[in-house]
A and B are shown apart, each in its own frame.
Chain A
C-alpha cells in the first residue's frame, strides 16, 4: 500500500461503525511476558482447557502483578484484572506497556473515556508508544471520530515502526475499508497484515475472519478462509461473528443471526456474538430467543451498555400491548402492533388502516406479496426506539425497518409540529416491501428512494416536501452520482448529507417514474433482487451506464428546480422580510411578499411556508376567503402544521364545507392523534354527515384519551351507536355519561328517546 493510498483509507475511518471488540483480542505483541504468551498460544489454537489451566496457574502470589492482570483478564475476571494492573502500575509507574494494556482492558470493557485518558497519559510521556497509538485509534474509530486518523497515521506512515501495532492498524484499516466498500484497499491491507503475521508468528485468525467477510461481500459461497480458521482454531467464533457483522450492516439480519449462532456454537463464551445475536433476533421479532442471548451476553460481559439497554427495553415490554389485526382476505398477512398501553387504543385504528392501505398499494406497484406478518412497534420514548434499533440511545432517525418488523417513534415521541407519524409509518412500510422483495439485496439508496417517493406520491399526506437546506445543497451541486449515493447515507461528508441523500434518492425515483414510467421502478427493484449492483441494474433496466443516468437525472433536476435554485438568495432574503413584517403587523406587505415567493415555488409547504404567512395576513385583514384558500393550498401541497390545519377545518365548517373539513381533520390524525378535542370535533362532523361508523371510531379514540369531560365522551359514543341502530349499546353509554353527570340534558333526552322507542316496539 502506498502512503497516499493509506491516507485515502484513513480518511474514511471516522464515520464507519465497528464491530464491538472482543474481551481479549489477539494482541500482536502488546504483551511480551513469555508466561502469558505460552498460555495465549494454547488459547489461540482453541485448546481452551489447557489455556485456562495455564492462565490460572499464573494467579499465584509469587507472580508479578502485571502478569496476573493479563491472566485474570483472559479468565474474564475483569475487576480482578483491573486491581492487578493498578497494583502493577503503583509499583512501576513508568511501565507503559502494562499501562497501555490497562487502557486496553478499559476499552474492552466499554469504558472508552477511561481508556483514552490512559492512552493519552502514556503518549504524553512516550509519544511513540505504538500500542497506545493503536489503542486510541481503535477507540476513536469505534466512536466515529475523525481524530482517529491522528493516531493511526504515525503507524501507517511508518513514523512509529512496530510490526505488531502495524498489524493491528492494518486490520483496522481493512475492516473500515470493507465496511466502506473499498475492497481493493481492504485486500491490500490484509495482504500486508498477513505477511507481517506470518513473519512474526502471530495467529492469522483475524485476517481469516476479514477474508471470510470479504468473500461474503463478494457473494462467494463457502469461503475457504472459514475452513482454514477452523483448522487453526476450532473454537474461534470470530470466523463467523466478523462476517456476520457485515451481514448486519447490509441489513441481512436473518443471515447474520445464522452466522452468530454458528459463532456461539463453537465459542459459547463469545459475549459480543451473543449480544449481537440478541439484538438481531429482536429485529426479527424473536423476543424469547433474543432475551436468552442477551442475558448470556450480560453474564459474560456485564459492562456492555448495549446488552444492558436491550434487556431493560425487554423488561419495559410489560408496559406495551400487542394488538393483532387478522387478515380478512385471502393472501393478506396479519398486522401485529406493539404499542404502549397508554396510547394503544388511540393509535391502533389509524396504524392498522394505514398499514392495510400501504400493503394494498405496494403489493400492486411492486408485484410482491408479503409472506409473513408485519410487526410494527412504536415507542413514546425516543431513546427506547434508539435502543430497539441500535442497542444504544442517541439515534437521530424516526423509524427503522428490519424486514417484516419496523420500529419507530410513536406520535407522542415528538412534538406534533415536528413529526408526521403517518408518513413515517408509510415510509417504513415501503422498506418492508423493498427489503423483502429483494431478499434484502436492495441498496440503501434505492430502498430509501422508494420510501421517500412513496411518501410523496401515495402516502397519507402526499406532496413533495423538500427542506430548504436540501435546495441549498442542490444549488451547490452536492448531489452524489447515483452509483455513490449509498455513501451519502453511510459515510456523510457534511452535516446535512444524510437528509440531502434521502431527498436525492426520492427525486431519482420521481425522475424514473416521470421520465421512464412507473414500471421501471419495479424493474429496477427486481434487478436488485436478482443480485445486480447499481451499475449493473441501471444497465439492465435503462440501458445506461451510471454516468449517462446521472446526466439525465441532472437534466431533470435542472428542469424541475433550476429556476428556483437561482432565486434561493432572494427567497431567503424575502422570508426574513416576511418574518419582520409579520412581527410589525404590516399585513399588506406580508401578502405581497409571500405571494411573490409562492409564485416562485408554489409547492413549498415546510413549516416556514409562505402559505402560513399569507393566510395569517389575510385573516388579520378579515379577508377570510383568501385566507382559507391559502391554507387549503398549503394543506393540499402536503403542509401538515396541526395548528394551521385545525384553523383551516374551523374555517371550512364556518364556510359550509364540512366534508372538506372532515378530510382536513383526518389528515391531522396522521400528525397529532393524541389531540382529544380533534376526535370529538371530527366525530361530530362525521355523525352529521351520516358517517356513523367513522364517527364511532373517532369517539372511541377520544374516550381512550381519557378526556377531562368524560360525560360528553360517553354521550358522543351513545349518539354514534344510536345512529348505527345499536340502541342497547347506546343506552349503556348514556348511563355511563349520566352516572358522571346526572343532569346532562342531551344525554337525558336521548335516554328518553331510546326508552320511548323501546316502548313503541
Chain B
C-alpha cells in the first residue's frame, strides 16, 4: 500500500488540481513588483499540492485578454468533471456601474467573459479568486454550484487598489494561517487570514476601510491551495498503512465527538476529548517512529 501525504483532514478528492494564475496590468512599478510576488507565491503554493497537475501563470504581454480566454478555452477539453480548477486574478479591476473589467495589457477582459469561461469548464469543483479592486461587482454573477468565489471587495464601488491579494498570498506560506494545523492552507483559512489582516490594516492605520473581502461557496474549508513544510515521500509499508488508517479513524471519531458536543456535559466532553486526543497523539508518535525506522533502513 502506498502511503503519501502526512495526513489528515478530509480534502476534496479528484483527479488533480489545475490552476490558472493571471497577473494583470500593474500601472506602477510598486504594483508590478507586488503583483509578481503574489503570483509567484500562489504559483508555488499550488504546485506544492500533492495532486497538483497543470499550474499556469500568465503575466506581462502573455496575460492579454485573448491569451486568458484562450487558456480557459483549452481547459474545456483538458479538464474532466472530477478535476479541480483554480482561477486566480491578481491586479486592478474597474467598474463603471454597468460592467466589471479586469485590467490586462490591451483590451480588458470583462467579468461576464471570465464567468462564462468558468461556466464552460467541465470541472465540477472550482475556486475563483479575484483580488482586484471593484471585484465585488461580479459577486452575484460568479456564484455557481461547486464553485467557491473569493473577491477582494464586496461591491463594484470599492474601487481603490486593494491590499487583500497581498495578505491572501502571504497566508499560503504562513504557519499561523493554518488554523487546524494540518499543514495545508485551505481557501477558507487563507480567506479568513487575509480578511482579518485587511481589517487590522485599516483600523490600525486609522483609515476608512475601502475594501471588504467576501467569500461564497460551501467547499472553501476543504479545498487546499497550498501545503506547508515538505511533502512526505510515498512509502510502501503495511504497518505504516495500518497506523495511518488508525489515525484517520481517530480523526473521524474526533470529528464525530465534536459534532455531538452540544449534547454532552462539559465534563463528559472534556474526558472524551482527552481520551481521543491522547490516543491520536500516541498514534502520531507511532507514525513518526515508524517513518524514522523506514528512513534509517533505507
Contacts and interface: CB of A to CB of B under 8 A. Distances in A.
Interface of A: 412, 414-416, 418, 672, 674-675, 707-712, 731-732, 734-735, 738-745, 747-749, 751-752, 755
A708 B274 CA distance: 24
A412 B203 contact: yes
B274 A742 contact: no
A740 B204 contact: no
B282 A708 contact: no
B196 interface: yes
A742 B258 CA distance: 11
Contact of B193 (A418, A708, A731, A732): A708
A582 to B, nearest CB: 15
Nearest to A750: B281
Contacts of B280: 742-743, 748
A701 to B, nearest CB: 16
A751 B282 CA distance: 10
30 contacts: A412-B204, A415-B205, A672-B204, A675-B204, A707-B176, A708-B176, A708-B177, A708-B179, A708-B192, A708-B196, A709-B178, A709-B179, A731-B274, A735-B277, A740-B180, A741-B178, A741-B181, A741-B182, A742-B180, A742-B251, A743-B7, A743-B8, A743-B182, A743-B251, A748-B277, A748-B284, A748-B285, A751-B278, A752-B281, A752-B282
B254 A742 contact: yes
Contact of B285 (A412, A418, A738, A752): A752
A743 B177 CA distance: 15
Contacts of A742: 180, 251, 254, 277, 280
Nearest to A672: B204
Nearest to A737: B181
B71 interface: no
A98 to B, nearest CB: 46
Interface of B: 7-9, 175-182, 192-193, 196, 203-206, 251, 254, 258, 270, 273-274, 277-278, 280-282, 284-285
B181 A751 contact: no
Contacts of B278: 751-752, 755
A672 B282 CA distance: 41
B199 to A, nearest CB: 11
Contacts of B251: 742-743
Nearest to B278: A755
Contacts of A749: 281, 285
A708 B200 CA distance: 12
Contacts of B192: 708
A740 B8 CA distance: 14
Contacts of B285: 748-749, 752
B177 A709 contact: yes
B174 to A, nearest CB: 9
A734 B251 CA distance: 17
A414 B207 CA distance: 10
A66 B9 CA distance: 82
A739 B278 CA distance: 12
Contacts of A745: 181, 284
B258 A739 contact: yes
Given A738-B273, A751-B278, A743 B196 contact: no
Contacts of B254: 742
B43 to A, nearest CB: 24
A255 B36 CA distance: 67
B180 A741 contact: yes
A714 to B, nearest CB: 11
Nearest to A412: B203
Q: Which 10 A-B pairs have the closest CB atoms?
A: A748-B281, A741-B181, A744-B181, A709-B176, A415-B206, A741-B180, A738-B277, A752-B281, A742-B254, A415-B205
Given A414-B206, A748-B277, A743 B180 contact: yes
Given A416-B204, A743-B8, A751 B281 contact: yes
Contacts of B177: 708-709
Given A709-B175, A742-B254, A755-B278, 4 more contacts: A708-B196, A743-B284, A745-B284, A752-B281
Given A414-B206, A743-B7, A752-B281, A712 B176 contact: yes
A743 B181 contact: yes
B177 to A, nearest CB: 7
A710 B270 contact: no
A341 B196 CA distance: 19
Q: Which of B176, B273, B282 has the most CB of A within 10 A?
A: B176
B181 A674 contact: no
Nearest to B6: A743
Contacts of B203: 412
Contact of B181 (A416, A711, A732): A711
B180 A735 contact: no
Contacts of B8: 743
Contacts of A731: 274
A409 to B, nearest CB: 11
Contact of B180 (A415, A416, A711, A734): A711
Contacts of A732: 270
B76 to A, nearest CB: 37
B81 to A, nearest CB: 31
A28 B284 CA distance: 92
A739 B176 CA distance: 16
A414 B193 CA distance: 23
Q: Which of A709, A742, A748, A755 has the most CB of B within 10 A?
A: A742
A699 to B, nearest CB: 14
A410 B26 CA distance: 38
A646 to B, nearest CB: 13
Contacts of B178: 709, 741
Contacts of A734: 277
Given A742-B251, A742-B280, A748-B284, A735 B179 contact: no
Contacts of A675: 204
B159 to A, nearest CB: 24
Given A708-B196, A745-B284, A748-B280, A415 B204 contact: yes
B151 to A, nearest CB: 20
Contacts of B205: 415
B10 to A, nearest CB: 12
A675 B201 CA distance: 11
Q: Which of A734, A740, A743, A755 has the most CB of B within 10 A?
A: A743
Nearest to A738: B277
A748 B280 CA distance: 8
A711 B180 CA distance: 7
B208 to A, nearest CB: 13
Contacts of B7: 743
A749 B282 CA distance: 9
B129 to A, nearest CB: 18
Contact of B270 (A674, A707, A735, A740): A735
Nearest to A745: B284
Contacts of B179: 708-711, 740-741
Contacts of A752: 278, 281-282, 285
A735 to B, nearest CB: 6
Nearest to A706: B196
A738 B176 CA distance: 15
B245 to A, nearest CB: 15
Contacts of B277: 734-735, 738, 742, 748, 751
Nearest to A414: B206
